[in-house]
Amino acid sequence: MRIIDISPSFWCNFDPIHDDIMNPAELTEQIFSIAKETGSFLREQINLLRLEEIEVKSLNNFVTHVDKNAEKMLVDRLSALIPGSGFIVEGNTVDFQANDYIWIVDPLDGTTNFIHGVPLYCVSIGLMHKNELLSGVIYEVNLDECFYAWKGGGAWLNDKQINVTSASCLKDALLATGFPYHDYNLLDNYMALFRYCLQNTHGLRRLGSAAADLAYVACGRYDGFFEYGLSSWDVAAGMLIVSEAGGITGDFRGGQDALFGKEIIAANHAVYNELLTVVKTFFPS
């Protein structure tokens, strides 16, 4: 990772975090390093995982000792970066503790891909300061791609700045989505929306990792993304990265509850507005 030089005027306009915490660019660089270390652990474990070691949390919702150990690694390392910080984590390896600084962490986004040997899964780390996302890192392990952003600092893929696409309408957009895998209450609505998008866009893709989907929107590989049934650790880092790449995120009603509302739309502004109108049609409030 190469952190760009930041002019003094940038910091004059930036609301800094506490004096005892490094600035957001330096902090993001440290998070980047921790994410890559965790990714190396995941690569080491992919061929060692046995079927009997896979636990089923709920219908089609899996967890392995790899998830748990990776999460413990992240909690230990991130706690050292900001002593006393709180955590929201998928694996419940640490109890939630209220704090101005909250890490929102998914050590292995794409567990189903991982256990089946499908080479796309991510480490996702978001940092929230007083309910505002401050830093986000998504590390896609197999391609060795690290997407990262900090508030006001732009969005980056490895050492290259990234931006969302300039697609101006839905009919020219390639979209990503995620299939419902345990909450089927809205499946009919989703399938109707899926059909519409198939017939009125360049197509739909499903990677199996919401973190990767958001990262791909941020770097322009996709023009937009939508999914329901998500958790905060799936989207926290990606939401900030999309925003800093010039995009927009929101929930299915156009509100700002994408982080904890279990549904998200992400795109550039033009595609977002049109996609939101379509989603509202199939998911009325």
> Which percentage of the chain shows pLDDT scores above 90?
72
Rounded (10°) CA dihedral 146, 151, 154, 158: -20
- Quick one: pLDDT band at residue 21, thresholds 50, 70, 90? low
Burial of 231 (0-12, 13-18, 19+ CB in 10 A): middle
Who wins on pLDDT, 13 or 270? Answer: 270
> What pLDDT is recorded for position 55?
52
Say whether pLDDT at 53 is over 70.
no
Least confident stretch, 11-20, 28-37, 198-207, 217-226? 11-20
**pLDDT at residue 59 greater than cutoff 50:** no
Q: For 162, phi and psi rounded to 5 degrees?
A: -125, 160
Please check the confidence at residue 5 and state whether its pLDDT lies above 60: no
pLDDT of 181: 72
Of the pLDDT bands very low, low, confident and very high (cuts 50, 70, 90), residue 20 is low
List pLDDT tens digits, range 210-263: 999 999 999 999 999 999 999 999 999 999 999 999 999 999 999 999 999 999
Average pLDDT, the chain: 87
Quote the CATH superfamily of domain 8-162. Fructose-1,6-Bisphosphatase, subunit A, domain 1 (3.30.540.10)
Query: What is each CA distance from 15 to 152, 245, 248, in whole angstroms?
Result: 10, 20, 21
pLDDT category of residue 60 using cuts at 50, 70 and 90: very low
Report residue 158 as tokens.
Answer: 């490895």
Domain ranges in the chain are 8-162, 170-282
Given this model, what pLDDT does residue 195 score?
A: 96
Mean pLDDT, rounded, for 121-141: 96
pTM above 0.75, yes or no: yes
Query: Tell me, what's the pLDDT at 196?
Result: 97
Q: Is the pLDDT at 119 greater than 60, yes or no?
A: yes
Topology of domain 170-282 in CATH is D-Maltodextrin-Binding Protein; domain 2 (3.40.190)
- 3-7, 148-152, 206-210: least confident range: 3-7
* pLDDT at residue number 6: 36
Instruction: For residue 32, give both structure tokens.
Output: 């980047």
Q: Is the pLDDT of residue 40 over 90?
A: yes
